[in-house]
Amino acid sequence: RIVYVNGEFLPEEEAKVSIFDRGFLMADGVYEVTSVLDGKLVDYDGHLTRLERSLAELDMPEPDGMDALLEIHRELVSRNNLKEGCVYLQITRGPADRDFLYPETPKPTLVLFTLAMTLRRSPKAEKGLRVISIDDLRWGRRDIKTVQLLYPSMGKMMAKHAGADDAWMVENGHVTEGTSNNAYIVTQDGTIVTRQLSHDILHGITRAAVLRFAREAQIKVEERPFTLDEAKAASEAFITSATTFVTGVVEIDGVQLGDGTPGPVSRRLREIYLEEAA
């Protein structure tokens, strides 16, 4: 596989980042995941806009190569002959002697690589996901897409140990989001409910597109917090992210939703998303 590191395309074995990199020592970095379908990037502009916002929120300077980012994405997809999967991008504040204070003249690190994945015809999307609920123990700026992913990793492991596919995180009785996706329910009267944007959740690029498509399809949308009990009593539930698009949730903490298969609203939105966004 060919990867990109600080201005160079290299075989992955030859790519190097300093052990003093603040991404490694302090999780001082941000990332984006852009999906690729039929060799094309999905919603690149949305991901770039969010990346710029993440950098600004952390006072992190833009690395060299930032103005050529789209070409770098395309070049990597082409060199790896990637048809379906994603491009992972990470920017860290770069190498510096270990210090909590930011370095005065940072040299940010820019890394990109591709991952081949089956996205469109994913078996998980066909069957639907089983989720468990866990406390949301993350920090208070979840709107910044940082590489601090330890708690989401723990959450996925808790789900795995419980025989489930993923975890929904709960704070003050209300669902925030999934470990790596935004969370939605569909009420018995057909309204989509998902938490409103704030510092509490990541502002999903897929979320923005899916809510727009839902409104265009005359489906009612409410952006507000919902409780776990509300979710368990919902007619259906689903998640969105760059790598799952719209994927139905069929069970929450062992409580089956609907007939135990992905519901009609989530199936329809997945179809619309794959037609319109891809």
Interface residue with ligand PDD among 177, 200, 236, 251 (CB under 6 A) is 177
The sign of the torsion formed by the CA atoms of 211, 212, 213, 217 equals positive
Q: Is 248 in the site for ligand PDD (CB under 6 A)?
A: no
Q: Cβ contacts of residue 3 below 8 Å, gap of 6+? A: 9, 10, 11, 12, 15, 76, 111, 112, 113
Q: Candidates 96, 132, 185, 202: give the one binding ligand PDD (CB under 6 A).
A: 202
Q: What count of Cα atoms within 13 Å lies in the side-chain half-sphere of residue 193?
A: 20
> CB-wise, 129 or 205, nearer to ligand PDD?
205
CB of 260 to ligand PDD, least distance (A): 25
Binding flag, residue 92, ligand PDD (CB under 6 A): no
CB of 99 to ligand PDD, least distance (A): 28
- Closest contact distance (angstroms) between CB of 155 and ligand PDD is 10
Interaction between residue 207 and ligand PDD (CB under 6 A): yes
Strands (E) across the chain are located at 2-5, 8-11, 29-37, 40-41, 85-92, 109-116, 129-135, 166-171, 174-178, 182-186, 192-194, 221-223, 236-241, 245-252, 255-256
Does position 266 bind ligand PDD by CB under 6 A? no
219 binds ligand PDD (CB under 6 A): no
User: Is 156 labeled as catalytic in the residue annotation?
Assistant: no
- Binders in 26-65 for ligand PDD, by CB under 6 A: 33
Residue in 65, 94, 128, 204 binding ligand PDD, rule: CB under 6 A? 204
Nearer to ligand PDD, 142 or 267 (CB): 142
Residue 194 within binding range of ligand PDD, rule CB under 6 A: no
- Single out the catalytic residue among 145, 156, 160, 232: 145
Q: Which one, of 52, 51, 28, lies nearest residue 101 by Cα?
A: 28
Q: Torsions phi, psi of 113, nearest 5?
A: -150, 165
Q: Which of 80, 146, 240, 247 binds ligand PDD (CB under 6 A)?
A: 240
Q: How many other CB atoms sit within 10 Å of the CB of residue 100?
A: 6
> What's the token pair of residue 63?
């690395």
Compute CA distances 114 → 12, 63, 232, whole Å.
Answer: 11, 19, 37
Stretch that binds ligand PDD, among 120-128, 173-181, 226-234, 256-264 (CB under 6 A): 173-181
Of residues 133, 128, 168, the one with CA closest to residue 264? 128
Pick from 159, 205, 237, 252 the residue near ligand PDD by CB under 6 A. Answer: 205
Cβ 219 to ligand PDD, closest distance in Å?
A: 18
Residue 243: both structure tokens together: 């790598």
Ramachandran angles phi, psi of 30, nearest 5°: -130, 160
Catalytic residues: 145
Binding residues (CB under 6 A) for ligand PDD: these are: 33, 177, 180-182, 202, 204-207, 240-243
